[in-house]
Amino acid sequence: MTDDSAPKQDRSRATRRRLLETTIRCLARHGWEVSTVAFIAAEAGISRGAVQHHFRTREALILAALEHMFEERAALLDALPDPGGADPDRVHAVVTGLVDAIGGELFRAALQVWTVAAADPELRSAVVPLERHFARGVHRRAVRLLRVDDTDPAVRGLIQATLDLARGLALADVLTDDSRRRARVVRAWSDQLAAALAASVPD
């Protein structure tokens, strides 16, 4: 008798992944109001019943989708090779990677959820810890890639400013995608950050 539990589990994981990725895409492109369970299910090519087998509520689905995408972005940062070259070039490579990881479709989807959560205490109580966890993870990865000691308050402030810049650029791209302007801003900040980090190193 053949044990077919493994293929079933594989199919279930694949269905769940497709559902989570479709949820992020729907939120980013169509917004919170349109992204109902029925709409997401149709976009994913999955029955509504199958969706509810994995997630009992719309909010549970959306929170799981955000967590999944946060993990995917963290994995992208972990996969970045340790940048070589001179310090300014290395800093620029790291800042570019952080901006790419924080922005894009994930940010647009998260923005939809944050907007609703601002007026929904129950949703906010679930979203805030998730966002803080992601932010701490990105901060740790930035420290590792930049090879700095963030126990120095000045250095920690520079890292936080870099992450705030990445969020600001992501927000600016929600309505218009001006990649050339973004590249100029990233280069300008990278040069300033490299100089400031170099100055913070004791002689």
CATH number among 2.30.30.90, 2.40.50.140, 1.10.357.10, 3.30.390.30, domain 6-200: 1.10.357.10
All structural domains of the chain with their residue ranges: 6-200
pLDDT the model gives residue 3:
56
Q: For the chain, which residues score pLDDT lower than 50?
A: 1
pLDDT at 1: 45
H helices present in 4-148, as ranges: 5-30, 37-44, 48-54, 58-79, 87-102, 105-117, 121-146
- Report the C-alpha dihedral over residues 25, 31, 33, 36, rounded to 10 degrees: 0
- 71 CB-near residues (< 8 Å, 6+ apart): none
Q: What is the pTM of this model?
A: 0.82
- What does the pLDDT look like over 82-118, one tens digit per residue? 766 558 888 999 999 899 888 888 899 999 999 999 9
